[in-house]
Amino acid sequence: MLQAGLHNSRRASVRITEVSPRDGLQYEPEFVPTLRKISLINALSRTGVTEIEAGSFVSPAAVPQLADSDEVLRAIDRIPGVTYSALVPNERGLERARAAGVDKIAVFTAASDSFTRHNIKATVQESLVRFRPLVAAAKRDGMAVRAYLSTVVFCPYEGRVPPTQVRDVMDRLLDLAVDDISLGETVGRASPTDIRKLLDTVLPHVEPARLSLHFHDTYGMAIANALTAWWDYGITAFDASAGGLGGCPYAPGASGNVATEDLVFALKATGADMPVDERLVAVCAHQLGDAVRHPLNSRLSQLHHRDKPQPAWRE
């Protein structure tokens, strides 16, 4: 555990990458109309999140839910202080991202070959080779680069993934000079003990400020994991999805991405300084509600749309 510096990092502001417009809507069965996507992103831009994953430039045939990302990225308001990113799998995607004026591209790999084979038809090693020219070209054009590193504790096909295997892939991503790395706990069944083992293994190789942690709440441990990463390890960046949008691709209807409003509420309640207004985030998710046609997967949203009044006191 990196005890040194924890006190300071605990006081550093905690940043959120809001992933609902991409990672969220990609897994929603309903196509959300383009104008609703634009409104969602514009509203999210005013909640205090520092980065929004606004779209995806993968093949529209592969992910029809995000086939309109070019249009969305061109039409949104660009709020100063917010970084707008999009997923980019290849040169063709990079061209589209450049044309749409994204600030940052995101590339996607994982710590386990079975997962990358299923998702991007490549081994981990092959994905890293693909990234090399992409990352270099993006940087030449002044775009920042985020790398997703998924299956950091469990792989849905292989089971438990050793932390050293995650660290080795992370090392390769750092060699490519990506700006930040999002470590994804894809299956959502890791516990704080697993997160401690992971961070004990990777933190000696990377500055904590370059990491973002991406938790799924499938088994209800996402908040506990995030609080452990922040409180015990000084991790100050997390990915989250307004309203818990996105669900869990391995169990339809079950919880996937941790809900931004719940995560922000918990971090603030635990003492984190952060500029995000969780009530505004919950409103963004609620406004999208009828377009996704299912109840939102968020404690705060469940609580704030009830007929009985809340307790009278306020802190």
Q: How far apart are CA 83 and CA 99, in angstroms?
A: 16
Q: How far apart are CA 269 and CA 88, in angstroms?
A: 36
Residue 145 within binding range of a copy of itself, rule CB under 8 A: no
Residue 35 within binding range of a copy of itself, rule CB under 8 A: no
The residue range among 42-50, 198-206, 269-277, 281-289 that interacts with a copy of itself, by the rule CB under 8 A, is: 269-277
Tell me, residue by residue from 159 to 198, as one string, x for binding to a copy of itself by CB under 8 A and - for no binding: xx--------------------------x-xxxxxx----
Q: Kindly name the residue from 135, 248, 267, 281 that is annotated as catalytic.
A: 248
Buried-exposed string 225-236: b where 16+ CB fall within 10 A, e elsewhere: bbbbbbbbbbbb
Strands (E), the chain: 15-18, 51-56, 83-87, 104-110, 144-150, 154-155, 159-160, 180-185, 211-215, 237-240
Q: Is 155 noted as a catalytic residue in this protein?
A: no
Residue 290 within binding range of a copy of itself, rule CB under 8 A: no
Q: Which of 57, 148, 233, 265 binds a copy of itself (CB under 8 A)?
A: 265
The residue range among 58-66, 71-79, 172-180, 301-309 that interacts with a copy of itself, by the rule CB under 8 A, is: 301-309
| DSSP of 7-19 | HHHHHSPPEEEE-
List 212's β-bridge partners, or say none: 182
**Where does this chain bind a copy of itself (CB under 8 A)?**
154, 156-160, 187, 189-194, 217-221, 223-224, 227-228, 231, 248, 250-255, 259, 262, 265-266, 269-271, 298-300, 302-303, 306-308, 310-315
